[in-house]
Amino acid sequence: MTVVTRRLGFAVALIFAVILTLAVPAREAAAGDSYVLVKGGVYSPNANEVDQLNEGFAGEIAVGSYFWSIVGLELGGGYFEASQGGVDLTVYPLTLAAKVRIPIPVIKPYAIIGGGAYFADLETPGGGSKSDTAYGYFGGVGVDFKLAFLLINIEAKYLVAQPNFGVDTNIDGYVGTVGVGLEF
């Protein structure tokens, strides 16, 4: 990425942030402690055991609530996959996370850390299907853009889990999503 491209991207993001800040009154932007989000994006396997797999789809439905203006909990359920040459990895995570956000009007950056159960299935050519439930954890960052009661979400996180498909198999990787939701 060239310096000009980065500067242009920064300028567009800054203009977008200023427009959003002016679009919603500050009192309304700060209200709303609970939310529901639908996210979609990509899972990029990173561990040695699965790094030969291609990136795949990742999706999640999350519900959460902030108990204080900056600290909240989120319950998420989702799906992610990766495949290559007849090898298919499919995972259904069910997670609980803590979030810490900076509650500025309209733009709300946050850090997230959590863990849960990863219901994993691995299909191989000639080897059939093997399933296991692994317990893992994740950490990441994100930002919510608030437009009245609508949320636009961008999130990146790294997950660590190790199901056993006859041998321990790390499915560690990056998950990047974009989502839309409601805040109430």
3-state secondary structure 100-168: EECCCCCEEEEEEEEEEEEEEEEEECCCEEEEEEEEEEEEEEEEEEEECCEEEEEEEEEEECCCECCCE
Q: 26 falls in which pLDDT band (50, 70, 90)?
A: very low
Position 22 pLDDT exceeds 80: no
Average of per-residue pLDDT across 104-131 = 94
User: Domain extents for the chain?
Assistant: 25-183
Question: In terms of Cα–Cα distance, which of 95, 96, 99 is closest to 72?
Answer: 99
CA pair distance 84, 124, nearest whole angstrom: 10
* pLDDT tens column, 68-101: 889 999 999 999 999 999 999 999 999 999 999 9
Q: What is Dmax (Cα atoms) for the chain? A: 60
Alpha-carbon torsion (172, 174, 178, 182), positive or negative = positive
Q: Percent of the chain scored above 90 by pLDDT? A: 72
* pLDDT tens column, 157-171: 999 999 999 999 999
Supply the pLDDT for residue 3. Answer: 45
Average of per-residue pLDDT across 116-137 = 94
Q: Exposed/middle/buried for 30, CB within 10 Å: 0-12, 13-18, 19+?
A: middle
Average of per-residue pLDDT across 97-124 = 95
Q: 104 falls in which pLDDT band (50, 70, 90)?
A: confident
Q: 130 falls in which pLDDT band (50, 70, 90)?
A: very high
Report the topology of domain 25-183: Porin (2.40.160)
Supply the pLDDT for residue 127. Answer: 79
* pLDDT tens column, 42-57: 999 999 989 899 999 9
Supply the pLDDT for residue 126. Answer: 84
pTM score of the predicted model: 0.81
Supply the pLDDT for residue 148. Answer: 86
List Cβ neighbours of 163 (8 Å cut-off, separation of 6 or more).
118, 120, 122, 132, 133, 134, 169, 171
CA pair distance 136, 82, nearest whole angstrom: 18
